[in-house]
Structure 1
Amino acid sequence: MSTTKKTLVMGASTAPDRYANKAIKMLQQYNQPVVAIGKKEGNVDGITIEKEQVPFEGVDTVTLYLNPVRQKPYYNYIISLQPKRVVFNPGTENPEFYKLLQENNIMVDVGCTLVMLTTNQY
């Protein structure tokens, strides 16, 4: 993987069994810069989990670990970050949000961040 893609993990968790937690760790293993937002503040391997909608700069990818209902309050926030793409991990599929993203020229990627990283498709 030659290029880095600053990634915002939405739905981040300090619980090691959560896929969002695994994604933070794996993104770091693959030398991808990571920022994170979750329900509770915390820290995963040096990455601070924020509770607020921080105006992060230079986010290439947003990877979602929030079900569609929990995504709604973040629609405008995610669009305002102007990422190149949003990854909808299993269980986060949301056609309503796909449409909004596409209207704002943001690519929709339905897949699994962990699989994408391990198969060099990130």
Structure 2
Amino acid sequence: MKTLILGATPNSSRYAYIAANRLVNSGREIVNVGIKEGAVAGAEILSGTPKVVDVDTVTLYVGPRNQAQYYDWLMDMKPRRIIFNPGTANPELEQLAEDNGIQSVHACTLVMLASDQY
């Protein structure tokens, strides 16, 4: 199963970049989606709302004010869970996820990986 990183960036100082590399290093398949061009952890950064299937987890690195454009796309993707990393909490998206049977997790992907809770 795949993890979709929403807010992926080729900037090595950003948490989304670090998470992508740690996910791949732990044997997980990733899909990068963001507004910056390039690649992270061997996967191209896709723009917009690309067709993606078999996504288990979406990990958010996009703030609440920029999430609304992705609501329908995320719900149509039907991931098992959405990880709301620090700074991405959004009651509106959480309610939408709950209404669609998608688990909302308030956590840090990096901490989850480091503590074998991913």
Q: TM-score, normalization: structure 2?
A: 0.97
The number of equivalent residue pairs is 118
The residue number in structure 1 matching 2:66 is 70
1:94 aligns with 2:90: yes
**Bigger CA drift: 48-57 or 18-27?**
48-57
1:45 deviation in Å? Answer: 2.6
Work out whether residues 5 and 58 of structure 2, in 8 Å CA contact, stay in contact via their aligned partners in 1: yes
Q: Which runs of at least 4 in structure 1 moved beyond 2 Å after TM superposition?
A: none
1:52 deviation in Å? Answer: 2.2
1:82 aligns with 2:78: yes
Percent identity, please: 42
- CA distance, structure 2, for counterparts of residue 20 and residue 71 of structure 1: 15
- Equivalent residue runs for 1:21-100 within 5 Å: 21-100=17-96
2:110 to 108, 114, 118: 114
- CA distance, structure 2, for counterparts of residue 45 and residue 100 of structure 1: 30
For structure 2, the 5+ residue unaligned runs are none
Q: Helix, strand or coil: the match of 1:52?
A: coil
C-alpha root-mean-square deviation of aligned residues, in Å?
A: 0.7
1:6 aligns with 2:2: yes
Which amino acid is 2:115 matched to? T
Which amino acid is 1:45 matched to? A
Work out whether residues 63 and 87 of structure 2, in 8 Å CA contact, stay in contact via their aligned partners in 1: yes
1:55 deviation in Å? Answer: 1.2
Which amino acid is 1:58 matched to? D
